[in-house]
């Protein structure tokens, strides 16, 4: 689907791209990927910077008006309330950012005929299936965070806006607050690092995700994107547990890890918010219908680790 359209009537050829949540992991990678392709883009977030659009995701009416006034050709919404445990008590803020804000963005995009690219989460599933989830599987979130993401994606999919919604999972990138960075920091300590071994999913490097989606939009006619609007899974292929992910990180850590790594289980770990035990996503539809796929999660990690290690400080 993606062959030979760059320079034609793509969504990118119609105007600038507005990246919501540009200061986050995925938003920053999108701005990097778009700039590398020469695509005009600007960031949007609560902290206004030179050339950026100041928005408040907790104020949906104002958010809609600001986006309409900006008149982007494409809106990429990477913003999310991601504090899974804190969302159990900060319910309204999680719902505002993850559910009501996407609905407002979809309304804005419908008004100005902009494409909305929105990202959701594997946590919309309960993890009880014991097999990879497809887009046709019913959602059944176990946490407030998961419920808020489910409501957000549903609002976008039900809207009149041209849209693509991508569920992804276990995202990381150098320079961000994420599992890889946390593990590398803990591995330089003395205390054993305990990680759950009974939650299974698909680690995803945000850089490859942003590059893949940017490439899709740069090389595909807008009409074909419109015809393919809907919900897709897109994450690293293969799967592992959090413990397996941590072990792969430890094996590639520079300087070498000092702390031991020990498996534990969800009950002993005792996190406030329940997580799905098996949230592996089947990404076959994205490959068949959009022509996009990401490498195996271990290959992604191998490629990302030199940059992570370059930022790791040995404090001995």
- β-bridge mates for residue 240, sequence order: 201
What does the alpha-carbon distance between residue 33 and residue 242 come to, in Å, rounded to a whole number? 28
- β-bridge mates for residue 205, sequence order: 172
- β-bridge mates for residue 261, sequence order: 193
CA distances from 274 to 68, 87, 239, 304 (A): 37, 11, 20, 29
Using only C-alpha atoms, what is the Rg of the chain?
A: 19
* Under 8 Å between Cβ of 163 and 225: no
CA distances from 311 to 252, 254, 270, 307 (A): 14, 10, 30, 7
* Under 8 Å between Cβ of 15 and 40: yes
What does the alpha-carbon distance between residue 193 and residue 65 come to, in Å, rounded to a whole number? 47
- Please state whether 4 falls in left (phi above 0), alpha (psi between -120 and 50) or beta: left
> What three-state secondary structure class fits 30?
helix
What does the alpha-carbon distance between residue 261 and residue 263 come to, in Å, rounded to a whole number? 7
What does the alpha-carbon distance between residue 78 and residue 237 come to, in Å, rounded to a whole number? 21
- Closest Cα to residue 133, out of 84, 210, 201, 199? 201
Active site residues: 145
- For the chain, the residue count is 316
- β-bridge mates for residue 75, sequence order: 18, 116
- The set of residues, in sequence order, having a beta carbon less than 8 Å from that of 256 and lying 6+ positions away, is none
């Amino acid at each position: 689907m993606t062959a030979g359209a760059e320079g034609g009537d793509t969504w990118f050829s119609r105007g600038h791209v507005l990246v919501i949540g540009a200061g986050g992991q995925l938003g920053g990678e999108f701005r990097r990927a778009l700039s590398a392709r020469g695509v005009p883009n600007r960031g949007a977030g609560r902290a206004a910077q030179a050339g950026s659009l100041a928005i408040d995701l907790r104020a949906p009416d104002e958010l809609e008006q600001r986006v309409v006034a900006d008149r982007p050709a494409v809106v990429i919404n990477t913003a999310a309330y991601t504090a899974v445990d804190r969302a159990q008590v900060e319910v309204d803020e999680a719902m505002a950012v993850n559910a009501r804000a996407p609905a407002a963005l979809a309304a804005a995009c419908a008004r100005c005929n902009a494409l909305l690219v929105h990202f959701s989460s594997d946590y919309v599933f309960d993890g009880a299936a014991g097999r990879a989830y497809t887009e046709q599987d019913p959602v059944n979130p176990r946490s407030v965070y998961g419920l808020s993401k489910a409501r957000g994606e549903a609002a976008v999919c039900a809207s009149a806006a041209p849209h693509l919604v991508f569920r992804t999972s276990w995202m990381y990138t150098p320079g961000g607050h994420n599992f890889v960075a946390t593990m590398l920091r803990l591995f330089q300590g003395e205390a054993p690092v305990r990680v759950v071994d009974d939650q299974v999913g698909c680690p995803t490097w945000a850089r490859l995700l942003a590059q893949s989606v940017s490439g899709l939009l740069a090389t595909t006619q807008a009409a074909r994107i419109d015809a393919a609007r809907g919900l897709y899974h897109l994450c690293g292929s293969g799967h592992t547990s959090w413990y397996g992910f941590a072990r792969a990180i430890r094996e590639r850590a520079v300087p070498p890890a000092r702390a031991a790594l020990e498996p534990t289980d969800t009950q002993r770990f005792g996190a406030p918010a329940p997580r799905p035990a098996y949230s592996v996503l089947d990404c076959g539809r994205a490959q068949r219908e959009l022509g996009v796929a990401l490498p195996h999660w271990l290959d992604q990690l191998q490629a990302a680790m030199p940059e992570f290690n370059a930022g790791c400080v040995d404090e001995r």
